Amino acid sequence: MPEPKQEVPILEAPLLEVRDLRKHFATRRGLLSALSREAGSQVIPAIDGVSFDLHENETLGLVGESGCGKTTTGKAILKLHNVTSGTIRYRGADITSQTQAQFRPLRRDIQMIFQDLDAALNPKVRIQDILNEAVRIGEPGADKEAVQRRIYELLDLVNLKKNKLANFPSELSGGEKRRIGIARVLAVRPKLIVADEPTSALDVSIQAQVINLMRDLQAQFGLSYLFISHDLQLVELMSHRVAVMYLGQIVEMGPAKEVAKHPKHPYTSILWASIVEKRSKEIEDGGAAPAWGVFDFERPRGGCRFAPRCPVYAARGKPAICTDSASAPTLQPTGEGRVVACHFPL
């Protein structure tokens, strides 16, 4: 199993192309205000113009803080959310314009590992039936014996014993639930897996097992992962490329190791500097800890969304261009396959 290659050969057509994706949620309002149709209903942009490509056998890490829209992006790719605008193309076919029924055959190719361990498994169904159902989607028309053979094969793939089949999900440990979740997804032989925080609910010692498993499966089946996580070290380890999201937009994207080592966007820099372990080492080594932004969290006023928290913005004497709503920064290439959306990249 090789290290994730830093230089991914640019294939002619990416597996997944996401262009200018937007998803706006309207705030929930009471019945009476809905009837009165009063103007100015609140709209919250969860994702606001996200574009990226994902190639075959590649892992793209999607990092950011909670509420930055990374999970919404993942679910939009699976059509679990209807997007407001933008396109998602899978092997060239636009899936945003398809209806749910039209999209259903493609669901076999695009699968998702959900963050919540229990959420993905119906608590009242035995493991045997959970897998049986998934295998029947993956192998339509297979006879009973073939289905059972495939179930054993899947258990083997995720290193689980056969005696777990008779159990209900609640009787399994966290790691086992996660493995069943992965086996269920593999049953339909996907090409692309959106992995939404696949290890965040697991213990450290179990997390390593799952990470190893996911890497093995990628090598074995040529899977592509959209790896969503808030754990930066994990993303750095798992991904070929990484995209950093802030308030619904990608602010920096590029090869994982490069982005981690030499961040160009101030937000990326703060994010990586906040890894507690690294930070303690830096302080011990006498190096100055990087300056934090001003506030924990602040809504943007216009222009660059990160400006209110940005140390560079503060250090440069609050240049007007950063808060000018006419000139919001866009992703600009900076070489080595990297792009960054900042007026004053580091």
Partner 1 sequence: MKFTYRQEVDTVSEYSSFSAWKSARRSDRLSVIYGLVVVCVVLVSYVLGAFKWLPHDPDAMEIEAMMLPPFSDGYLLGTDFMGRDILTRLILGIQAYFLPGLLAVCLSLGLGSLLGVLAGYRGGRAEAGVTYFSNLIDSLPRMVLMLLVIAAFRPNIFIIMLVFGITTAPTIAMLVKSKVLMLKERNFIESAVALGLSPATIIFKHILWYNCRALLLIQATIGMAEAVLLETSLSYLGFGVQEPTPSWGNMVQAGANYLMQGNFWPSTAPAIAIMLTVLGFHLLGDGLNNIFEWKQSR
Partner 2 sequence: MSEQMNKPPLLRIEDLRTYFYSRVKRAFVRSVDGVDLEVMHGETLGIVGESGSGKSVTMLSAMGLVTTTPGVITGKVTFHDESPKDLLEGLDANVKLERREGRIMRVAKDNQLWQKQADRNLKGVRGGKISMIFQNPRAALNPFETVGKQIAEAVRLHTNIKGAAEAKEKAMYWLEQVRIDSPRMRYGNHPYGLSGGMSQRAMIAMALAAEPKMLIADEPTTGLDATIQARIVDLLDDLKARLGMTMVLISHDIGVISRLSDRIAVMYGGRVMETGPAAEVLDEHAEGHPYTRALLSSTPRPENVLASGHLPAIEGEVLDTINVPPGCRFKARCQRINDTVRPHCESQEPELFELGSDRRIRCWLYAPK
- Binding residues for partner 1, rule: CB under 8 A, are 31, 75, 78, 80, 104, 107-108, 111-112, 114, 116, 118-125, 133-134, 137, 164, 167, 170-172, 184-185, 188
296 sits near partner 2 (criterion: CB under 8 A): yes
Binding of residue 65 to partner 2 (CB under 8 A):
yes
Pick out residues in 192-221 that bind partner 2 (CB under 8 A). Answer: 203-209, 211-212, 215
Q: Quickly tell me which residue has 């808030």 as its tokens.
A: 230
CB 55 within 8 A of CB 11: yes
Rounded distance, CA 236 to CA 63, Å? Answer: 10
| 52 backbone dihedrals φ, ψ, rounded to 5° | -165, 165
Rounded CA gap, 322 and 343, in Å? 7
Q: Considering the complex, what minimum distance in angstroms separates the CB of residue 25 from partner 1? A: 14
Cβ of residue 209: shortest distance to partner 2, in angstroms?
4
The DSSP string of 139-151 is STT--HHHHHHHH
Cα distance between residue 105 and residue 115, in whole Å? 24
Please classify residue 118 by burial: count the beta carbons closer than 10 Å to its beta carbon, then call 0-12 exposed, 13-18 middle and 19+ buried. middle
Are 51 and 250 in contact, with CB atoms under 8 Å apart? yes
CB of 84 to partner 1, least distance (A): 17
Instruction: Examine residue 181 and tell whether it contacts partner 2 (CB under 8 A).
Output: no
Partner from partner 2, partner 1, none binding residue 89, C-beta < 5-8 Å depending on class: none
Please tell me whether residue 292 binds partner 2 under the rule CB under 8 A: yes
Rounded Cα–Cα distance for residues 39 and 117 (Å): 41
Supply the minimum distance, in Å, between the C-beta of residue 30 and partner 1.
12
Q: Is 275 in the site for partner 2 (CB under 8 A)?
A: yes
8 binds, among partner 2, partner 1, none (CB under 5 to 8 A by kind): none
Select from 204, 195, 213, 145 the least CA-distant residue to 174. Answer: 204
| Residue 282 contact among partner 2, partner 1, none, beta carbon within 5 to 8 Å by kind | none
Verify binding: residue 66, partner 2, rule CB under 8 A: yes
| CB 140, min distance to partner 1, A | 11
Q: Which of residues 223-262 bind partner 2 (CB under 8 A)?
A: 230-234, 236-237
Q: Which does 294 bind (CB under 5 to 8 A by kind): partner 2, partner 1, none?
A: partner 2
Measured CA to CA, the distance from residue 88 to residue 95 in angstroms comes to 6
Q: Closest CB to partner 2 among 102 and 233? A: 233
Per-residue 3-state assignment (H helix, E strand, C coil) for 192-235:
EEEEECCCCCCCHHHHHHHHHHHHHHHHHHCCEEEEEECCHHHH
Residue 237: CB atoms within 10 A of its CB come to 18
Look at residue 164 and give the partner it binds from partner 1, partner 2, none, a contact being a CB closer than 5 to 8 Å depending on partner kind: partner 1
Nearer to partner 1, 127 or 244 (CB): 127
Nearer to partner 2, 134 or 180 (CB): 180
Helix (H, G, I), strand (E, B) or coil at 30: coil
Which parts of this chain interact with partner 2 (CB under 8 A)? 1-4, 65-66, 173-176, 203-209, 211-212, 215, 230-234, 236-237, 270-271, 273-277, 279-280, 289, 292-297
